[in-house]
Structure 1
Amino acid sequence: MRQLLALPTGLATGLVVLAASACSAPTPPRSDVPPVTPAGPATLPAPTGPHPVGTTALHLTDTSRPDPWDPDLDARRLKVTLWYPTERRDGQRAPYMTAKESELLLKGSGITGAPYDVLSKTRTNAVEDADPAGRGLPLVVLSPGFTKPVSTLTSLAEDLASRGYVVAGIDHTHESHATTLSDGRVAECLACDGDTDPGFGPRVVQGRAADVSFVLDWLTSRWKRSGLIDGGRVAMAGQSIGGAAAVAAMVKDSRVRAGIDMDGTAYARIPKSGFARPFMFIGAPQHVPGGRDTSWDRDWKLLTGWKRWLVLSGTEHHSFTDLPLLAGALGIRPAPRALSAARSAELTRTYVAAFLDQHLKSRRQPLLEGPSSRYPEVTFCPARCGSP
Structure 2
Amino acid sequence: MLLPLLFLPFSFATILIPPPTGKYGVSLTNIQLVDKTRPDPWGFDTIANRRIVVSRFDPVAPRSCRTKQRIPYMTSVVAEEEDRILGPYEWPVGVLGQLELELCVPKNKVVKDAPVVLFSPGGNTTRFYYSALASEIASRGYSVITIDHPFETDIVEFDDGTIAYGGHYSARKNLTFAETAVSVRAADMSFVLDTLGLKDRKKDKAAAFGHSFGGAATAAAMRLDPRIRGGVNLDGLLYGEVVQAGFGEKKNSKQSFVLWGAQGHNSTEDPDWNSFWSALGEQNVWKRELSLLGGAHGAFWDLNLIADVANVRGQFGQYTEEDLISKLPGKRVYQIVGDYLDDYLKFVFEGGSEGLLKGPNKKYPEVDFL
- For normalisation by structure 2, the TM-score amounts to 0.82
Asked if residue 245 in structure 1 is aligned to residue 220 in structure 2, the reply is: no
SS at match of 1:376: coil
Tell me what 2:369 maps to: 380
What does residue range 213-232 of structure 1 map to in structure 2 within 5 Å?
A: 213-220=190-197, 232=204
1:190 to 167, 183, 200: 167
1:362 to 338, 347, 351: 351
Tell me what 1:321 maps to: 301
Higher relative contact order (CA 8 A, sep 6+): 1
Asked if residue 63 in structure 1 is aligned to residue 36 in structure 2, the reply is: yes
CA apart distance, 1:290? 2.5
Asked if residue 79 in structure 1 is aligned to residue 59 in structure 2, the reply is: no
SS at match of 1:65: strand
Instruction: Tell me how far apart the structure 1 counterparts of residues 32 and 58 of structure 2 sit (CA, whole Å).
Output: 17
CA apart distance, 1:353? 1.5
CA apart distance, 1:101? 0.3
CA apart distance, 1:310? 0.2
Q: 1:134 to 1:342 in 2, by over 3 A?
A: closer
Q: 1:192 to 1:309 in 2, by over 3 A?
A: same
Tell me what 1:3 maps to: none
Q: 1:307 to 1:376 in 2, by over 3 A?
A: same
**What amino acid is aligned across from residue 38 of structure 2 in structure 1?**
R
What does residue range 302-313 of structure 1 map to in structure 2 within 5 Å?
A: 302-303=279-280, 304-313=284-293
Q: 1:274 to 1:107 in 2, by over 3 A?
A: farther
Tell me what 1:278 maps to: 256
Q: 1:217 to 1:366 in 2, by over 3 A?
A: closer
What does residue range 149-228 of structure 1 map to in structure 2 within 5 Å?
A: 149-190=126-167, 192=169, 196-220=173-197
Q: 1:116 to 1:330 in 2, by over 3 A?
A: farther
What does residue range 41-120 of structure 1 map to in structure 2 within 5 Å?
A: 42-71=15-44, 73=46, 74-86=48-60, 87-88=64-65, 90-110=67-87, 113=90, 116-120=93-97
RMSD: 2.6
CA apart distance, 1:185? 1.9
**Is contact 1:52-1:89 (8 Å) kept?**
no
Consecutive unaligned residues in structure 2, runs of 5 or more: 1-12, 315-320
**Is contact 1:141-1:168 (8 Å) kept?**
yes
Tell me what 2:266 maps to: 288
1:140 to 104, 117, 124: 117
**What amino acid is aligned across from residue 312 of structure 1 in structure 2?**
L
**Is contact 2:198-2:204 (8 Å) kept?**
no
**Is contact 1:234-1:258 (8 Å) kept?**
yes
CA apart distance, 1:233? 2.8
Instruction: Tell me how far apart the structure 2 counterparts of residues 144 and 120 of structure 1 sit (CA, whole Å).
Output: 20
Structure 1 residues 12-65: Cα deviation after superposition (integer angstroms, max 9, x where no partner): xxxxxxxxxxxxxxxxxxxxxxxxxxxx85433322221111001001111222
Greater shift after overlay, 131-140 or 265-274?
Answer: 265-274
**Is contact 2:16-2:99 (8 Å) kept?**
yes
- For normalisation by structure 1, the TM-score amounts to 0.78
Instruction: Tell me how far apart the structure 2 counterparts of residues 364 and 49 of structure 1 sit (CA, whole Å).
Output: 20
1:338 to 324, 327, 336: 327
**Is contact 2:31-2:54 (8 Å) kept?**
yes
CA apart distance, 1:362? 2.7
Instruction: Tell me how far apart the structure 2 counterparts of residues 88 and 340 of structure 1 sit (CA, whole Å).
Output: 30
1:264 to 236, 254, 267: 236
Instruction: Tell me how far apart the structure 1 counterparts of residues 94 and 37 of structure 2 sit (CA, whole Å).
Output: 36
Instruction: Tell me how far apart the structure 2 counterparts of residues 174 and 195 of structure 1 sit (CA, whole Å).
Output: 18
Aligned residues: 333
**Is contact 2:68-2:102 (8 Å) kept?**
no
**Is contact 1:56-1:128 (8 Å) kept?**
no
Q: 1:362 to 1:214 in 2, by over 3 A?
A: same
SS at match of 1:244: helix
What does residue range 116-135 of structure 1 map to in structure 2 within 5 Å?
A: 116-127=93-104, 131-135=108-112
CA apart distance, 1:72? 5.3
Where is the strand percentage greater, Structure 1 or Structure 2? Answer: 2
Structure 1 residues 197-223: Cα deviation after superposition (integer angstroms, max 9, x where no partner): 34222111100011011111111179x
2:342 to 353, 357, 366: 353
